[in-house]
Chains A and B, each alone.
Chain A
Amino acid sequence: MKNGQPPRELLVSWLGLLALLGITVFASYQPLGAANTGVALAIALGKSLIVAAIFMELRRGSALTIVFAATGFFWLAIMFWLALADYMSR
Chain B
Amino acid sequence: MPETPADQFVDMRQQHETAQLGMWTFIATEVLFFGGLLLAYCVYRIGDPEGFAEAARHTKIVIGTINTAVLLTSSFLVAWAVTAARLRQGRMAGLLLGFAAVLGLAFLALKGVEYAKEYDEHLIPRLDFAYAGPKATSVYLFFSFYFVATGLHALHIAIGVVVLAVIGWQAGRGRYSERYHSPITVAGLYWHFVDVVWIFLFALIYLPGRAS
Contacts and interface: CB of A to CB of B under 8 A. Distances in A.
Interface of A: 1, 3-4, 6-7, 10-11, 13-14, 17-18, 21, 24-25, 28-32, 36-37, 40-41, 43-44, 47-48, 51-52, 54-56, 62, 64-65, 68-69, 71-73, 75-76, 79-80, 83-84, 87-88
Interface string B178-199: 0000000000110011011001
Contact of A24 (B31, B36, B75, B207): B207
A56 B199 CA distance: 15
Contact of B73 (A3, A14, A36): A14
B27 A1 contact: no
Contacts of B68: 21
Interface residues of B, number: 50
B69 A56 contact: no
A75 B80 contact: no
A68 to B, nearest CB: 4
Interface in B145-199: 188-189, 192-193, 195-196, 199
Closest 10 CB pairs of A and B: A72-B28, A72-B31, A14-B76, A68-B24, A28-B207, A44-B203, A55-B79, A76-B35, A28-B210, A40-B203
Given A24-B207, A55-B192, A80-B35, 12 more contacts: A1-B87, A11-B76, A30-B211, A32-B211, A40-B208, A41-B203, A48-B200, A51-B199, A72-B27, A72-B32, A76-B32, A79-B39
Nearest to B95: A4
A1 B189 CA distance: 21
Contacts of A18: 69, 72-73
Given A4-B92, A18-B72, A83 B43 contact: yes
B24 A10 contact: no
Contact of B76 (A10, A25, A64): A10
Contacts of A31: 211-212
A21 to B, nearest CB: 5
B76 A79 contact: no
A35 to B, nearest CB: 10
B78 interface: yes
B42 interface: yes
Interface in B47-77: 47, 61, 65, 68-69, 72-73, 75-76
A21 B27 CA distance: 24
A3 to B, nearest CB: 6
Contacts of B43: 83-84, 87
B84 A1 contact: yes
Nearest to A25: B65
